[in-house]
Structure formats: structure tokens, C-alpha cells
């Protein structure tokens, strides 16, 4: 009797403890828009069954206690108390390649859902940049191509400059010819002056030589006649 009474008392003592430790908790999982995904009613201390979810263009980052991700993420799979968790995603980065004349000039990563940016297009001689073909909302890897057209204004300006340059060269040639002609005229005058001076100098030398010869002849005649007169005497 005593043994049966003791066993009954032991059962009555342990049963309230088991009831206390078997408290039920509620775990709610919501998507990024606040829509309920699933509710788990489990006993405190049991493992939490985390739902598997996915979203196109995004990587699932985890469940957070706050909708904007500013709270705490699930760090344990044990249910310790009732809690609400919100799905947090991060956009996938996709490569966006920019081409000019089939040549890759930019390659950047843009998050899913954003618009591809307008990059600076390189300058191409006699061509005018119009737009980037393929600019759109990023939904995967993308290629963007630069579209150009002929720059008639720049080409006309260049042609005008070429004409002006050629004209300037022709004017320079005329100026050079005129300058050369002027220099030639000056040089010709100098030559004439030099020739005149040379002619005068030559004439002076000829006169001087003639005087020497005449003096010599007169001297010879003088001695000749003097000698002859001496013989007669």
C-alpha cells in the first residue's frame, strides 16, 4: 500500500513539470511583402522547420525579425518563444557589357531590377553618338551596343578647315614667290652696282698701265735722241 502510494505521489509530482515544459510556441514566417507563408505551432525547445522559398532575380538571405532586415536573423533552429520572421532577399548582380564597333569598352555588374546606366560613349572621328542600344531593366546578363551616325557638321567643318589650310598654303607660296622676286630684284641691283664698280676699277687700271707705257716710251725716246746728239758732237 505504501509502495503504491509513493508511486502515485511521484507521478502526480512529475506530471505538472512535464506540462510546464511542454508549452506551445507559435512561429510565423512571412514573405518580403508581409504575406504569411506558414505558421508553425510547436513545443518550446523543439526544432524550427524553416520553409524553403525562392524569388526570381534574388538570392534568399535569411529570415529576420524585422521586415526591413534591421532586426535579428535566425541563429538557432530551436523554438524558444513565439516569434515572427520575415524573408529577406538580395538582388542578383548581373554583368552588363558595353560594345563600340564590336569592341568591349565597359563591363559592370548591375543588380537585378535596375536600369542599365548610360555610360560615356567614346569619340569617333566624323561620327556622332546617338544612343545605347539595349538599355533596359536588368533581368539577366546583358549586352549594350553604341549606335553612331555620320557627323556631317563636323565633316563640313573639317572640309572647310582643309580648304582654308590649302588656301593659306597657296597664299604662302605666292608670298614666297613675291619675296623671292623682290630678293632677286635687290640682288640684281647689287650685281649691277658691283659690275659698274668693277668696270670703273678696270678702266682705272687700264689708264694707269697706259700712262706707265707712255712714260716708258717717252723716256726711251729721250735717251735715244740724247745719245744720237752726243755722237754728232
Mean pLDDT across 201-212: 82
User: Does the pLDDT of residue 89 top 50, yes or no?
Assistant: yes
pLDDT of amino acid 154:
56
Question: What pLDDT, in 10s, does the model give residues 55-85?
Answer: 999 999 999 999 999 999 887 778 888 899 9
What confidence score (pLDDT) does residue 133 get? Answer: 94
Q: Which of 104-118, 147-161, 178-192 has the lowest mean pLDDT?
A: 178-192
Domain ranges of the chain: 19-91, 93-150, 152-233
Instruction: DSSP letter for 59, please.
Output: E
- Report the pLDDT value the prediction gives residue 77, as an integer from 0 to 100: 77
Q: How far apart are CA 129 and CA 21, in angstroms?
A: 74
Kindly indicate the confidence band of residue 169, based on its pLDDT and cuts at 50, 70 and 90: low
Tell me which of 47 and 141 has the higher pLDDT.
Answer: 141
pLDDT above 70: residue 6 = no
The predicted model gives 6-24 an average pLDDT of 55
CB 52 within 8 A of CB 110: no
Hey, do 19-91 and 93-150 end up sharing a CATH topology, with the first three levels equal?
yes
**Model confidence band, residue 202 (pLDDT cutoffs 50, 70, 90):** confident
By the 10 Å C-beta count (0-12 exposed, 13-18 middle, 19+ buried), 171 is classed as: exposed
Answer yes or no: pTM beyond 0.85. no
> Residue 49's pLDDT is what?
84
Q: Is the pLDDT of residue 18 over 50?
A: no
Q: Is pLDDT above 90 for 137?
A: yes
The answer on pLDDT for 109 being more than 90 is yes
Among the listed residues 131, 156, 132, 154, the one whose alpha carbon sits nearest the alpha carbon of residue 144: 132
CB atoms within 10 A of CB 89: 18
Percent of the chain with pLDDT over 70: 73
Q: What is the mean pLDDT of residues 113-120?
A: 92
CATH no. of 93-150: 2.60.40.4270
Lowest mean pLDDT among 27-41, 58-72, 89-103, 197-211: 197-211
Mean of per-residue pLDDT scores for the chain? 80
For residues 147 and 130, what is the distance between their CA atoms, to the nearest angstrom? 6
Write the CATH number of the domain with boundaries 19-91: 2.60.40.4270
Amino acid at each position: 500500500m505504501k509502495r503504491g502510494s509513493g508511486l502515485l505521489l511521484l507521478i502526480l509530482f512529475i506530471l505538472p513539470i512535464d506540462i510546464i515544459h511542454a508549452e506551445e510556441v507559435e512561429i510565423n514566417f512571412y514573405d518580403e511583402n508581409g504575406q504569411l507563408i506558414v505558421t508553425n505551432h510547436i513545443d518550446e525547445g523543439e526544432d524550427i522547420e524553416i520553409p524553403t522559398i525562392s524569388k526570381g532575380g534574388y538570392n534568399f538571405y535569411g529570415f529576420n525579425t524585422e521586415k526591413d532586415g534591421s532586426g535579428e536573423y535566425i541563429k538557432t533552429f530551436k523554438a524558444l518563444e513565439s516569434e515572427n520572421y520575415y524573408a529577406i532577399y538580395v538582388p542578383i548582380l548581373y554583368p552588363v557589357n558595353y560594345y563600340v564597333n564590336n569592341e568591349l569598352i565597359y563591363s559592370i555588374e548591375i543588380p537585378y531590377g535596375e536600369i542599365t546606366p548610360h555610360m560615356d560613349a567614346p569619340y569617333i572621328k566624323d561620327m556622332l553618338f546617338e544612343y545605347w542600344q539595349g538599355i533596359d531593366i536588368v533581368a539577366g546578363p546583358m549586352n549594350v551596343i553604341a549606335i553612331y551616325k555620320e557627323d556631317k557638321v563636323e565633316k563640313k567643318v573639317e572640309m572647310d578647315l582643309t580648304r582654308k589650310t590649302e588656301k593659306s598654303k597657296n597664299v604662302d607660296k605666292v608670298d614666297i614667290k613675291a619675296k623671292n622676286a623682290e630678293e632677286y630684284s635687290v640682288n640684281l641691283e647689287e650685281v649691277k652696282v658691283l659690275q659698274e664698280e668693277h668696270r670703273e676699277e678696270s678702266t682705272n687700271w687700264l689708264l694707269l698701265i697706259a700712262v706707265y707705257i707712255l712714260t716708258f716710251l717717252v723716256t726711251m725716246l729721250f735717251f735715244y735722241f740724247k745719245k744720237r746728239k752726243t755722237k754728232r758732237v
